[in-house]
Amino acid sequence: MTDVKLPISETFVSLQGEGKLTGVPSWFVRLSGCNLRCGWCDTPYASWNAEGESRAIAELVEEARASNVGHAVVTGGEPMIFNEVGTLTRALGNAGLHITIETAGTVFREVECDLMSLSPKLANSTPAEGDTRDPLGVWRERHEQRRLNFEALQALIDSTPDRQLKFVVSEPGDLAEIERVLAQLTGWAAEDVQLMPEGTSVPEPGRVAWVVEACLARGWRYCHRLHVELFGDRRGT
Ligand code: SF4
């Protein structure tokens, strides 16, 4: 069973940079391929220009176990588009690892997961008209159709013992869309909601004061990017 393979763009050990488990030493596996094309995607090597190699699940789990960090983060790209992600997560669970899955929440699959890290994509993610990365001009409409799947989001929330909803925000107008998204979902608490300012650098003081105010007013959390602060915007961190 675990000689099944998955397309992998990278694996690495680092501190989790985002969300409830920020700062926790973790083994990351990034599956290569995505059903969305966010304009601001920070891992284009797993979406716009998916690259990597096919690797056996048994080999990946052995690497995770040998890393001795105890936490595995299954990320992408979009890990849930792959049938075999359930096999990978069950094997990681059998190896005794705590599992976080990082997903946009557009596809539901049966998986083993301790923390479902959902990042529903807002309108600010849709690629611009004429984006040169999309010469056929098909992704703007496709992304817009796929980016919110409330049935999948709800099933993912309900299927795991803990969850977080991380929203990448660009401007105050995004808050109304977040409220609309949350109103269609149940099984989440204010402390599960996180706002992450868009960008690949640490925001200068004052630039995201509106995000801080939104968190304080609603009991939501501010999500920074520890890995960017510690290592800059680069792969393998
Ligand atoms: S869902 Fe994630 S990996 Fe896919 S395009 Fe958006 S940011 Fe990139």
CA distance 200 to 218: 25
Q: What distance in angstroms lies between residue 37's CA and the mean position of ligand 1's atoms?
A: 6
Q: What distance in angstroms lies between residue 44's CA and the mean position of ligand 1's atoms?
A: 8
Choose which CATH entry (3.30.1330.20, 3.30.365.10, 3.20.20.70, 3.40.50.300) describes domain 5-168: 3.20.20.70
Domain residue limits, the chain? 5-168
Ligand 1 pocket test: which of 9, 18, 29, 37 has the largest number of ligand atoms within 8 Å of its C-beta?
37
pLDDT at 231: 83
- Residue 110 amino acid letter: E
Among 100, 10, 99, 24, which Cα is nearest to 55's?
A: 10
In sequence order, what E strands does the chain have?
5-15, 25-31, 53-56, 71-75, 98-103, 115-118, 162-169, 193-197, 221-222
pTM comes to 0.95
pLDDT at 25: 98
- CB of 94 closer than 8 Å to CB of 124: no
Q: What distance in angstroms lies between residue 121's CA and the mean position of ligand 1's atoms?
A: 9
pLDDT at 2: 62
Radius of gyration of the chain (CA): 17
Q: What distance in angstroms lies between residue 203's CA and the mean position of ligand 1's atoms?
A: 21
pLDDT at 179: 98
The stretches in the chain having pLDDT less than 50 are: none
pLDDT at 66: 97
Q: In sequence order, which ranges of 79-173 are alpha helices (DSSP H)?
A: 85-94, 139-146, 150-158
For ligand 1, atom 2: residue with the closest CA: 77
Among 65, 59, 70, 5, which Cα is nearest to 31's?
A: 5
Directed axis angle between helix 85-94 and helix 57-66, to 10°? 40
Query: Which atom of ligand 1 is nearest the CA belonging to 48?
Result: 5
